[in-house]
Amino acid sequence: MADEHGDKEFRGRADAFIRVANEQRRDASNDEVNASLLYAATRFNAFVVASAAQDVEEMREDRDQAVEFFTERFRRMLVENIDDYVGNYGEYIQKFRNE
């Protein structure tokens, strides 16, 4: 995961999604934008699972393993980002409050 997060293209794609989410905060609450972003991520994850399967039976067979994989990956990324905010709280929140 460290290599993945250090990848410039990976960060650029993530930043693009974050920019869209921040733009949407102008017309919706943080909770509403968060729910939409989470839904979009899960919808795309389901597409990734479906597109990797040869047929619907294989998708059914892979379902629980895919849920476990994406759940664990989300958890690790969330912990990493919360820890980042803990370490940089003043800087990040000050920037947010000045928007």
Query: What is the CATH number for 32?
Result: 1.10.287.3020
Mean pLDDT throughout 17-42? 97
- Report CA-CA distances (Å) from 16 to 9, 23, 50, 96, 97: 11, 11, 25, 17, 21
In the predicted model, what is the mean pLDDT of the chain? 93
CA pair distance 42, 69, nearest whole angstrom: 12
The single-letter code of the amino acid at 53 is: A
What is the domain extent for residue 80?
2-97
Mean of the pLDDT values across residues 31-55?
98
- How many domains in the chain? 1
- Structure tokens, 10: 């990976």
Query: What mean pLDDT comes out for the span 32-51?
Result: 98
pLDDT band per the 50, 70, 90 thresholds, residue 1: very low
Q: Are 33 and 25 in contact (CB under 8 A)?
A: yes
- Phi-psi label, residue 33: left if phi above 0, alpha if psi -120 to 50, beta otherwise: alpha
The packing angle between helices 8-24 and 30-52, to 10°, is: 140
**60-96 confidence digits (pLDDT tens):** 999 999 999 999 999 999 999 999 999 999 999 887 7
- Res 38 pLDDT > 60: yes
Query: What mean pLDDT is predicted for residues 35-40?
Result: 98
Q: pTM for this one?
A: 0.83
